[in-house]
Amino acid sequence: MTNPSVIGRLDIEKIRTLFPVLHQQVNGKPLIYLDNAATTQKPISVLKALGHYYQSDNANIHRAAHTLAARATEYYEASRHTVKEFIHASEVEECIFTKGTTEGINLVAQSWGRSKLKVGDEVLISGMEHHSNIVPWQLISEEKGATLRVIPMNEAGELVMDEFEKLLSPKTKMVAVVYASNALGTINPVKEIIAKSHAAGAKVLIDGAQATSHIPIDVQDLGCDFFVFSAHKVYGPTGVGVLYGKRELLQQMPPYQGGGEMIKEVTFEQSTWNELPYKFEAGTPNIADVIAFKYALEFVNETGKEKIAAHEKELLLAFTDGLTKFGHTIQLIGTAANKVSVQSFLIKGQHPFDTGMLMDAKGIAVRTGHHCTQPLMKRFGVEGTVRASFAVYNTLDEVKVLLEAVHGLTKQVNK
C-alpha cells in the first residue's frame, strides 16, 4: 500500500518492519492504525524483551541472592536509569514506576494532597484535562475541604492564559495540567505555567501522557514538581508508567500503598519506610513490562524525537489540510496553532460512532467518543468526536486513504 519513502530523513518503510502488528488485514483491507493517542504499537525489540524475561530471567526482584533474581533486578533497574535519562531527571531515585499516568496522578493526589491540602486551599486544573487528572483531585479536594478551579479554553482549544493568571492566588496549592491534550492535540505552554505557579507558591504536576512520545522532555528545565506518563503511549507495554517527583517532595510524602518492598522494618507496633524510590513501589511490580519499556525508549532515542516530530507534523498537516477542502461538511475540534499529531473532527449529520464503524469496515482504526474528556466535549457542545492520531510508523499514503474514506462518507451524508 505504501511506497518506500524517507520523510524527515526517516526510512518509514524500514521503521514499519519493526512493528509486526501493522502487517495484517482488517475486514479484508490493509490495517491503517490511527489510534495512537489511545495506545501506540510495540516494536519487535519490546516484544522480544518480554519473551526473554519469561523464558530466561523470570524471578522476583530485590529480594533474593540467586542468579535469576540478580539478573531480573539488574534489568529492572537499568530501565529506571533509561527513564531518568529520557526525561532528564537529576537522579534515578526521583523516578518511580507505576501502573501508568492514572496511578501516578492518584499517588500524588492521595499522598501529597492528603498531607498538604487543607480547608480553603485551591487546586487548579484546566478545561482540557483527561478524567484521570480531574477525578483524583475532586476526590481529595472533597475530602480535605479544598476547592477545584478550572482554567478555561478558547474556541481553538487553547488555554486562556490571562484567566489562568487571575485564578492563581495564595490559596492555590497545586496546579495540575496536561502537557498535550489527548482530545485536541493542543500543546500547552507548560514552562510558563510552571514558572507562574511557582511564583504564586503552588506546586505543579504535569500530565505528560500525550506529550512524551512527541516532545523532548527535560523535567529539570521545565522545573515541574511532578511529571507523569505511561509506557504504552511511548511504544512500550501496557500496565507501566512513571511518576517523576522532586526528591525533597517525595521524601516528605507518606507511602501511597503498604506492603512488601516499601518497608525498612515492620513490627506489630509500627513500621518504617524504605528509601526512594522503593517507598512508593509496594509489592511485586510489573517486572517484565518495566524491563521491556527500556527498549521502547531506546527505539525513540535511536529514531530521534526531532525526526519523529517532523514526520508526524507532516502527516497532521496533510490530514487537516485535506479535511478543510471538504468545507462545511467537516467540523474540526481543536485548531490550536501548536499541536501534537492529533486531530478530532465530526462529519456533520453523522454520529461519530457511525463514522468509526464505517472506517473500521475499510480497515482504518480511529477512536470515537468523548476520549475521557467529557467536560471538554461539553465546552464544545458535542457528545464526542472522531479522532485520528498519528505515530512515526504512519504514512502519507495512509493519510490519503483516510481522506478518501472521509470524502466518501461526506458524500453519503449529503445525498
Which are the catalytic amino acids?
372
Handedness of CA 196, 229, 306, 336 (dihedral sign): negative
Contacts of 344 (CB under 8 A, 6+ apart): 183, 184, 185, 332, 333, 334, 371, 385, 386, 387
Q: In Å, what is the CA distance from 174 to each residue of 16, 114, 122, 162? A: 42, 12, 7, 18
Residue ranges in 182-246 assigned as alpha helix (H): 190-199, 219-222
Helix (H) or strand (E) holding 166: helix 161-167
Joined together, the cell numbers standing for residue 61 give: 526482584
Question: Residue 195: CA atoms inside 13 Å, Cβ hemisphere, count?
Answer: 7
| Interatomic CA distance for residues 89 and 220, integer angstroms | 6
| Interatomic CA distance for residues 181 and 189, integer angstroms | 12
First to last CA, the chain: 30
Strands 385-389 and 342-347, how do they pair? antiparallel
Handedness of CA 135, 107, 253, 93 (dihedral sign): negative
3-state helix, strand, coil in the chain (%, to 5): 45, 20, 35
> For residues 165 and 140, is the Cβ–Cβ distance under 8 A?
no
